Structure 1
Amino acid sequence: MISFTSLLRQRPALLACAAALAASAPASVAWAQGAEPVMSAIDETMMAAFEADRADILAMAGDYKVRFDMQESTAWVEGYEPLDRKISGGHESVRIIEDTGTKIVLQHLLVVETPDGENFIVKHWRQDWEYQPEAMLVYSDTGEWSNEAISEEDRKGKWSQTVYQVDDSPRYAGIGEWKEEAGVRRWASNWTWRPQARRDAIRETPYDRYVGINRHSQMPGGWIHFQDNTKMGMVDGELKPIVQEYVLNTYTKFDDYDTAAADDYWKSTADYWEVVRAEWDKLLSNKGKIAVTEYGPTGTVISGELLEMGTKIHKGEMETAAAIIRAKELIGSDTLRLAAAKPIEEKASN
Structure 2
Amino acid sequence: MKNHSLLLVAALALLPVPALADGPVKQTAAEALAAKAADRAEILAMAGNYKVRFDMQETTPWVAGYTPLERKISGGNEVVRVIEDSPDHIALQHLLVVEHDGKTHVIKHWRQDWDYQPARVLVYAGQGKWVWETVPERMRAGRWSQTVYQVDDSPRYAGWGQFETQAGVRRWRSNWTWRPLARRDAVRHPVYDRYYSINRHQPTPTGWIHWQDNTKMALRDGKPVPIVQESVLNTYERFDGYDVKAAEDYWTKTKDYWAAVRAAWTRIADTKGGIAIPEEAETGTVISARLLAIADDIQAGKITTAAGSAEAQALIDGRTAPIG
Matched, 1:102 2:80: no
Structure 2 equivalent of residue 220 of structure 1: 205
Matched, 1:87 2:84: no
1:239 and 1:137 map into 2 onto residues whose CA distance is 20
8 Å Cα contact 1:206-1:234 kept in structure 2: no
Structure 1 equivalent of residue 39 of structure 2: 53
Q: By how many angstroms is 1:290 displaced?
A: 2.4
Structure-to-structure mapping, 1:131-146, within 5 angstroms: 131-146=116-131
8 Å Cα contact 2:272-2:323 kept in structure 1: no
Matched, 1:113 2:99: yes
Q: Deviation per CA, 1:112-171: give whole Å up to 9, x if none.
A: 1121x2211100000000000111111112111111122321111000000000000010
Partner amino acid for 1:76? Answer: W
Give the counterpart of 1:326 among 299, 303, 311. Answer: 311
8 Å Cα contact 2:272-2:321 kept in structure 1: no
Structure 1 equivalent of residue 302 of structure 2: 317
8 Å Cα contact 1:70-1:245 kept in structure 2: yes
Give the counterpart of 2:321 among 315, 336, 341. Answer: 336
Structure 2 equivalent of residue 165 of structure 1: 150
2:252 and 2:69 map into 1 onto residues whose CA distance is 40
Matched, 1:126 2:111: yes
8 Å Cα contact 1:134-1:149 kept in structure 2: yes
Moved more, 141-150 or 253-262: 141-150
RMSD between superposed Cα atoms in Å: 1.5
Q: By how many angstroms is 1:287 displaced?
A: 7.0
Matched, 1:203 2:191: no
Flag the 1:326–1:66 CA change in 2: closer, same or farther, 3 A. same
1:264 and 1:182 map into 2 onto residues whose CA distance is 41
Structure 2 equivalent of residue 39 of structure 1: none
Moved more, 281-290 or 264-273: 281-290
Number of paired residues?
A: 300
Flag the 1:177–1:44 CA change in 2: closer, same or farther, 3 A. same
**Helix, strand or coil for the counterpart of 1:157?**
coil
Give the counterpart of 1:44 among 26, 30, 40. Answer: 30
Q: TM-score of the superposition, structure 2-length normalised?
A: 0.90
Q: By how many angstroms is 1:237 displaced?
A: 5.0
Flag the 1:218–1:24 CA change in 2: closer, same or farther, 3 A. closer
Q: By how many angstroms is 1:52 displaced?
A: 0.8
Matched, 1:281 2:266: yes
Q: By how many angstroms is 1:303 displaced?
A: 0.4
Flag the 1:57–1:24 CA change in 2: closer, same or farther, 3 A. closer
8 Å Cα contact 1:146-1:287 kept in structure 2: no
**Helix, strand or coil for the counterpart of 2:282?**
coil
8 Å Cα contact 1:147-1:287 kept in structure 2: no
Matched, 1:291 2:276: yes
8 Å Cα contact 1:160-1:173 kept in structure 2: yes
8 Å Cα contact 2:83-2:92 kept in structure 1: yes
Structure 2 equivalent of residue 75 of structure 1: 61
**Helix, strand or coil for the counterpart of 1:213?**
strand
Q: By how many angstroms is 1:236 displaced?
A: 5.1
Flag the 1:327–1:287 CA change in 2: closer, same or farther, 3 A. closer
**Helix, strand or coil for the counterpart of 1:242?**
strand
Partner amino acid for 1:337? Answer: P
Q: Deviation per CA, 1:22-54: give whole Å up to 9, x if none.
A: x965xxxxxxxxxxxxxxxxx222111111100
Q: TM-score of the superposition, structure 1-length normalised?
A: 0.83
Partner amino acid for 1:203? Answer: R
1:191 and 1:211 map into 2 onto residues whose CA distance is 7
Q: Kindly report structure 1 stretches of 4+ aligned residues shifted beyond 4 Å.
A: none
Moved more, 212-221 or 44-53: 44-53
Structure 1 residue ranges without an equivalent (≥5): 1-20, 26-42, 340-350
Structure 2 residue ranges without an equivalent (≥5): 1-24
Partner amino acid for 1:316? Answer: G
2:160 and 2:274 map into 1 onto residues whose CA distance is 19
Structure 1 equivalent of residue 20 of structure 2: none
Partner amino acid for 1:66? Answer: V
Q: Deviation per CA, 1:228-247: give whole Å up to 9, x if none.
A: 00000133553200000000
